[in-house]
Chain A
């Protein structure tokens, strides 16, 4: 479950529209226990500067992680926007989410702006058995607005 406050959802939305037509991205910070409520969303510059792909600016990521560590919190997920497609992990997302340094416990929250009305969905993406591109590795989780 992804438990986010309405305030955090508004901040995610503001970042998504603010970056449009490019993809927006950022990280979710919470206590490290699984399903902990999200403490904050930290927008991070999309170093790819693109409407089709995103790369978390490494320096921005480093600062966010250092801040979280110092507070006894952790980065527990990544958020990005899809400007042309549904709020569902793309093959690129699945490929990147299953890289060895990306925790398999991360929330992959996606905001779609493709149809004018924003939609937020969240997933856990784990390496599938064999072919990581199969849907077997994508599990949708409930988004709970608190």
Chain B
């Protein structure tokens, strides 16, 4: 049983599916585990963040304390107690 708890910051559109919260606590030793905990608590978040293979969707950016997990160990990136895991929209256009 994990005792590491991260603070997850949710994007605006996902907050209604997480009780209206801006941030929620979720346990896990890695970003992947934190997301699993998050999704088991708020199942409505799952399909938006992860695809059917469990990979992060392209329009989602995941940061651990100001670092993009693409430049760390992706979903295997370890988190420490109190770390902020931010789920952010990738915003682009032409």
Partner of A101, one of B9, B13, B63, B86: B13
- Chain B interface residue count, CB cutoff 8 Å, equals 21
How far is A79 from B46 in the complex, measured between Cα atoms in Å? 29
How far is A52 from B59 in the complex, measured between Cα atoms in Å? 19
Distance of B88 from chain A, by nearest CB (Å)? 5
How far is A53 from B66 in the complex, measured between Cα atoms in Å? 24
Number of A-B residue pairs, CB cutoff 8 Å, is 80
Partner of A62, one of B13, B14, B66: B66
- Chain A interface residue count, CB cutoff 8 Å, equals 31
Q: Is A21 positioned at the interface, with any CB of B under 8 Å from its CB?
A: no
Distance of B64 from chain A, by nearest CB (Å)? 11
B 50-74 to A, binary, CB cutoff 8 A, 1 in contact else 0: 0000000001110100101000000
Q: Are B63 and A78 in contact (CB under 8 A)?
A: no
A 87-123 to B, binary, CB cutoff 8 A, 1 in contact else 0: 0011111001101111100001000000000000000
Q: Are B94 and A102 in contact (CB under 8 A)?
A: no
Interface of A is mostly: mixed
Q: Is A55 positioned at the interface, with any CB of B under 8 Å from its CB?
A: yes
Partner of B93, one of A54, A66, A69: A54
Question: What are the 9 closest A-B residue pairs judged by CB atoms, nearest first?
Answer: A92-B94, A101-B89, A93-B93, A55-B92, A56-B91, A99-B59, A58-B61, A90-B94, A53-B94
Q: Give me 11 A-to-B residue pairs in the complex whose CB atoms sit less than 8 angstroms apart, sorted by A's number.
A: A52-B94, A56-B90, A56-B91, A58-B90, A61-B88, A74-B12, A78-B93, A92-B93, A92-B94, A97-B93, A99-B90
Chain A positions within 8 Å of B, measured between CB atoms, are 25, 48, 52-56, 58-59, 61-62, 65-66, 69, 74-75, 78, 80, 89-93, 96-97, 99-103, 108
